[in-house]
């Protein structure tokens, strides 16, 4: 049980080290936009998509100004939810099914 706590501390440390949260971004905001991610983005509910666009625009603005958000506005490890992951998993599963079907 003790090892799980250590692993969680390492994950939090690495999460903060990555730095995207200091710009107000979530982990899913940083995914490379390949074809699967682009298709998953099309399937996002409008409010989630709009929230993502806002976070990315704000992060770009901060980056251009060489600034970060005040610490109380950083995305916390515990608050970062994989909002795109369910849609991405579905897209990948569908693509793999199509590829398997096309091999027949």
Give me the percent of the chain exceeding a pLDDT of 90. 93
Q: Model's pTM, two decimal places? A: 0.86
What are the domain boundaries of the chain? 3-103
19-55 pLDDT tens trace: 999 999 999 999 999 999 999 999 999 999 999 999 9
Place of tokens 């710009």: 23
Domain 3-103 sits in CATH at: 1.10.1090.10
Cα(76)–Cα(24) distance, rounded to whole angstroms?
A: 9
pLDDT higher than 70, residue 1: no
User: What helix, strand, coil percent values describe the chain, rounded to 5?
Assistant: 75, 0, 25
pLDDT higher than 70, residue 2: no
Q: What is the DSSP letter of 17?
A: H
């Amino acid at each position: 049980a003790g090892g799980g706590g250590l692993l969680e501390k390492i994950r939090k440390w690495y999460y903060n080290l990555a730095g995207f949260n200091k710009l107000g971004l979530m982990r899913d905001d940083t995914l490379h936009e390949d074809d699967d991610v682009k298709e998953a983005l099309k399937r996002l509910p409008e409010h989630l998509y709009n929230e993502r666009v806002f976070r990315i625009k704000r992060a770009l603005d901060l980056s251009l100004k060489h600034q970060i958000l005040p610490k109380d506005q950083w995305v916390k490890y515990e608050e970062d939810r994989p909002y795109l992951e369910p849609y991405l998993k579905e897209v990948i599963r569908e693509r793999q099914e199509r590829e398997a079907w096309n091999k027949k």
